[in-house]
Amino acid sequence: MRSVSPFHLSASMLFCALVFILSSKSVVAQSNGVRRHLTVNDYFRIKDVNDPQISPNGKWVAYTITTMNADSDKTETRIWMAPTDGSKPFPMTAEGYSASHPRFGPDSQTLAFLASKKKDDKTQVYTLNLHGGDSEPLTHVKQGVENFVWSPDGKRMALIINDPNPNAKAEKEHGPLPKLITRLQFKRDVVGYLDTLRNHIYVFDLSNDSLRQITSGPYRDSDPVWSPDGSKIAFVSNRSADPDHNYDTDIWTVDPNNTDKGVQIDQLTTNPGSDISPAWSPDGKYIVYVTDTQPKLIWYATNDLAIIPASGGKPHLLAPNLDRNVSNPEYTPDGKSVVFNLEDSAELDLAEVSSNGGPVEKTISDNLALYSYSMNPKGTIAALISKPHLPAEVFLDQSGNLARLTHTNDAFLKQIDLAQVENIHYKSKDGTPIEGFMFLPVDYHRGTKCPALLRIHGGPVYQFDFGFNFQSQLFAANGYAVLNVNPRGSSGYGEDFSKAIWADWGHKDYQDVMAGVDYAIKQGVADPNKLGVGGWSYGGILTDHVIVQTNRFKAAITGASEVLYAANYGHDQYQKEWEYELGLPWIKKDRAVYERISPFNEVENIHTPTLVMGGDRDWNVPMQNSDQLYQALKRLGRTTELVVYPGAHHELTRPIYLKDRLERYLAWYGYFVKGDRKSKNPE
């Protein structure tokens, strides 16, 4: 149901890439010579830069570049390296396999990464000597390695390894065996049905290739971080009586030299909500982390930065009045401040606060989207930043001087004429201020009314930010004005703004997105007779709410959505979230809430031609509701089609599926919104 956010569970920024903002209010495409419009195939020409990691000595930044090929239906990720002196970057891994998670050793002479070089191999840790030579596998773990962290002295690594599957040999010989399910949480998208195997922490000694398990039990352990002296590892784990019942992850510490598989561990936090992302102070006396003190509010709650003595004690919040989501805290080298990602309105910034608490200062901001960063012992920061007209690239920040380090997509962008984008602000029906972005058609002439699309983001606690949305640029290249707005429920605007739709989906957020449509019409941009609407995940869910309440749209596309909410309980992965927000569906008063906000109960109101889409292995928002919506519309004689992507999960990843989806978007909107009979007739 919910799309991944860097501040809420986790993501995929499937379409973040390209917009270059010339001011806080307007982003204008520049023309240098003859340029062409964006096409569907251009989605596969843009290279996705990610995960910048600066070396301890400050001379290098390693990062990944992911490329997709729709013809071969393959995706590949390679590790690259950029010298910080501005010299030309170069690849560190070869073509033919994918590599990820590059991390420098403490001496800056070795680069480790995760890879599976052959089709059936499990993922292992590989190392590269920066003085030359091929990469070599460091680990040979039968079930593979999911994550690793260097020790401060570079002699050991903390590994995250899943428990071995006792049925692996039998399943290899005979195929899948029956699954015995005993857990309350028994499904997860991509993973499928859940067993009782868990992730635990191991210590790998590079000197003798020995591997020792240091945590165990029916718990999932993650986020290992070494103390500065290497005597402790902090990690995150939910060790309550039944972790499937709650969000109670805490910060723990364990001795990396223990021989009891973590029987003796120390619990630092006791907050009933989630405590994650621990980071040690340089002197090893404190740990900073991200905390959620209101677990009953699930994803609607705003999280906080907290600090706690590493020896145990009372935590305190560093910025209790911030009311904005934070992530990825790190101490500055002198230990006096904490650096972190900050989500504020439609910006994703880097910010800093005193380690004693106090006012928050933005250190990298101004209408941009900073997705991730790393900081070395000298305080130099490598950051992944997207600006308008610029796919995400690596930037280097030294003492407040921000310089762009990579130019991965420059040659491609010189060919493309991108759309003008306006950062808009308007008021909803009840006066609530709403922010968003309006993409104008390429070659747009002011005062011309044009076909317009309302595209709704997932989440619901997510947002459109100052990074580029490829879909919207593609629509603008095909003659549409596009509205990307952040209605109530979105992140970036405080807890009250997010929780305004609690157990009330399709009401205030509906008013907010429709007010955005009215704004575009009043500006003389949107043609009120040529409107389309659509979205994926919660974007599809809100689309369903829109089309049962209005017939103003000529076409709708609802992807990975749900309409009959009680039918999802026990069928998707959100049993806790349904219970917290709506209650138990077999209790009469709770069931009334499910039914009150389910758009399926008003499906007879839908007269908008509706394209329904989804993946048949999606356990996030299963196809069941999409099937039901399609069946109802077909039974009512409405114009509709159902597109099912075989083997696909919630987020489409196969290039041929991604291409197919974009082509179907253009065909459906072209036929019904533009009335373009040259478009493929969806009927």
pLDDT greater than 80 at residue 592: yes
Better pLDDT: 388 or 455:
455
Angstrom distance (rounded) from CA 355 to CA 80 = 34
Of 481, 415, 414, 475, the residue nearest 444 (C-alpha): 481
Q: Could you tell me if 180 and 246 are in contact, meaning their C-beta atoms sit under 8 angstroms apart?
A: no
Confidence category of residue 29, pLDDT binned at 50, 70, 90: very low
The reply to whether 145 falls in a domain is no
* pLDDT value, residue 678: 77
pLDDT greater than 50 at residue 23: no
pLDDT greater than 70 at residue 308: yes
Q: At 609, list the tokens.
A: 């031609």
Burial label, 632 (beta-carbon count in 10 A; 0-12, 13-18, 19+): middle
The reply to whether 504 falls in a domain is yes
pLDDT greater than 90 at residue 562: yes
Please give, one letter per residue, the 3-state secondary structure of 51-82.
Answer: EEEECCCCCEEEEEEEEEECCCCEEEEEEEEE
Handedness of CA 522, 524, 530, 536 (dihedral sign): negative
Angstrom distance (rounded) from CA 600 to CA 596 = 10
The reply to whether 270 falls in a domain is no
* pLDDT value, residue 133: 79
Q: Average of pLDDT values for 115-120? A: 88
CATH number of the domain at 668, please.
3.40.50.1820
The reply to whether 427 falls in a domain is yes
Angstrom distance (rounded) from CA 272 to CA 282 = 28
Angstrom distance (rounded) from CA 193 to CA 4 = 20
Handedness of CA 564, 569, 573, 579 (dihedral sign): positive
Confidence category of residue 631, pLDDT binned at 50, 70, 90: very high
Q: Average of pLDDT values for 629-651? A: 98
The reply to whether 286 falls in a domain is no
The reply to whether 405 falls in a domain is no
Q: Average of pLDDT values for 46-75? A: 97
pLDDT greater than 90 at residue 113: yes
Q: How many CB atoms lie within 10 A of CB 166?
A: 9
**Cross-strand bridge partners of residue 395:** 383, 404
Each residue's pLDDT tens digit, 124-163:
999 999 987 789 999 999 999 999 999 999 999 999 999 9
Each residue's pLDDT tens digit, 202-252:
999 999 999 999 999 999 999 999 999 999 999 999 999 999 999 999 999
Least confident of 11-20, 72-81, 268-277: 11-20
Q: Average of pLDDT values for 525-548? A: 98
Above pLDDT 90, what percent of the chain? 87
| DSSP letter, residue 165 | -
Q: At 574, list the tokens.
A: 């959100």
At 42, which helix (H) or strand (E)?
none
Residue 581 to residues 188, 590, 593, 654: CA-CA distances in angstroms?
A: 19, 10, 10, 33
Q: Average of pLDDT values for 375-399? A: 93
* pLDDT value, residue 7: 35
**Cross-strand bridge partners of residue 453:** 482, 532
Structural domain including 636 reads 415-563+598-674
Sheet containing 156-162: order of strands: 147-150, 156-162, 199-205, 210-213
The reply to whether 27 falls in a domain is no
User: Does a cis peptide bond (omega within 30 degrees of 0) precede residue 433?
Assistant: no
Q: Could you tell me if 505 and 541 are in contact, meaning their C-beta atoms sit under 8 angstroms apart?
A: yes
Residue 160 to residues 19, 203, 212, 221: CA-CA distances in angstroms?
A: 37, 9, 12, 8
Give how many domains the chain has, as a whole number.
1
| DSSP letter, residue 44 | G
pLDDT greater than 70 at residue 6: no
Better pLDDT: 488 or 262:
488
Confidence category of residue 12, pLDDT binned at 50, 70, 90: very low
Confidence category of residue 680, pLDDT binned at 50, 70, 90: low
pLDDT greater than 80 at residue 517: yes
* pLDDT value, residue 220: 96
The reply to whether 550 falls in a domain is yes
* pLDDT value, residue 417: 95
* pLDDT value, residue 32: 43
